[in-house]
Amino acid sequence: MAAKYILNYFIVLWELTADMAPYLLLGFLFAGLLKVFLPQNLMNRYLGKSSFKSVVNASLLGIPLPLCSCGVLPAGISLYKNGASKGSSVSFLISTPQTGVDSILVTWSMLGLPFAVVRPIAALFTGVIGGVMTNKLEKEKKASKDEQEDFKAVKPRPSLKAILDYAFVEMMADIAKWLVIGLLIAALISVLIPDNFFQDFQMSGLLGMLIILVASIPLYICATSSVPIAAVLLMKGLSPGALLVFLMAGPATNAATMTVVGQNLGRKTLFIYLAALVIGSLAFGLVIDYFLPGNWFLPVLDMMGGHQHGFLPSWLTYGSAVILILLLINSFILQYREKMKSKKREESAPQFSIDIPAMVIGVEGMTCEHCKAKVENGLRSQDNITNAIADTESNTVKLYGASISTDKIEKVIQELGYVFKGKQP
At position 132, the amino acid (one-letter code) is: V
Which CATH code, of 3.40.50.10780, 3.65.10.10, 3.40.50.2000, 3.30.70.100, is assigned to 349-423? 3.30.70.100
Instruction: Please name which of 118, 146, 133, 152 lies closest in space to residue 88, comparing C-alpha atoms.
Output: 133
Per-residue pLDDT tens for 245-284? 988 988 887 766 777 678 777 888 889 999 999 999 999 9
Q: Where in the chain is the domain with CATH 3.30.70.100?
A: 349-423
- Nearest-angstrom CA–CA distance, 203 and 237: 9
Residue 178 has pLDDT above 90, yes or no: no
User: Tell me, what DSSP letter sits at residue 363?
Assistant: E
Instruction: Please name which of 416, 421, 425, 387 lies closest in space to residue 406, comparing C-alpha atoms.
Output: 421
Cα–Cα distance list, 343 to 369, 388, 407 (Å): 13, 11, 27
Alpha helix segments (H runs only) across 201-348: 205-216, 226-235, 240-252, 255-265, 267-290, 314-348
Per-residue pLDDT tens for 16-58? 888 778 877 887 787 777 677 766 566 556 666 678 888 998 8
Which residues have CB under 8 Å from 410's CB, separation 6+? 420
- Nearest-angstrom CA–CA distance, 321 and 69: 25
* pLDDT on residue 153: 44
Cα–Cα distance list, 274 to 90, 241, 269, 280, 298 (Å): 10, 19, 9, 10, 29
In 3-state terms, what secondary structure has residue 138?
coil
- The full DSSP string for 189-222 is HHHHSPTTHHHHTT--HHHHHHHHHHHHTTS---
Question: Which stretch, 199-213, 297-311, 350-364, has highest mean pLDDT?
Answer: 199-213
Q: What is the mean pLDDT of residues 222-244?
A: 85
* pLDDT on residue 355: 47
Give the neighbor-by-neighbor strand order of the sheet with 358-364. 385-391, 396-401, 358-364, 419-423
- Nearest-angstrom CA–CA distance, 318 and 107: 18
**331 close to 388: Cβ distance less than 8 angstroms:** no
**How much of the chain is helix, strand and coil, in % rounded to 5?**
65, 5, 25
Q: Which of the four pLDDT bands, split at 50, 70 and 90, describes residue 364?
A: confident
**389 close to 376: Cβ distance less than 8 angstroms:** yes
> Which residues lie across from 363 on neighbouring strands?
420
**17 close to 325: Cβ distance less than 8 angstroms:** yes
Cα 364 from chain centroid (whole Å): 16
* pLDDT on residue 141: 53
* pLDDT on residue 310: 47
Q: For the chain, first and last CA: distance in Å?
A: 53
* pLDDT on residue 349: 56
Per-residue pLDDT tens for 111-166? 889 999 999 999 999 999 999 999 888 765 544 444 444 444 444 567 888 888 87
- Nearest-angstrom CA–CA distance, 180 and 186: 10
Angle (nearest 5°) at CA 257 between 259 and 381: 85
Q: Which of the four pLDDT bands, split at 50, 70 and 90, describes residue 82?
A: low
* pLDDT on residue 36: 76
Residue 393 has pLDDT above 70, yes or no: yes
Q: What percent of the chain has pLDDT over 70?
A: 76
* pLDDT on residue 49: 66
Q: Which of the four pLDDT bands, split at 50, 70 and 90, describes residue 206?
A: confident
Q: What percent of the chain has pLDDT over 90?
A: 16
The CA dihedral of 415, 417, 421, 423, to the nearest 10 degrees, is -50
Q: What is the mean pLDDT of residues 4-21?
A: 85
At position 275, the amino acid (one-letter code) is: A
* pLDDT on residue 357: 47
At position 364, the amino acid (one-letter code) is: E
Q: What is the mean pLDDT of residues 370-394?
A: 82
Per-residue pLDDT tens for 297-345? 887 665 544 444 445 788 888 999 999 999 999 989 988 887 787 677 6
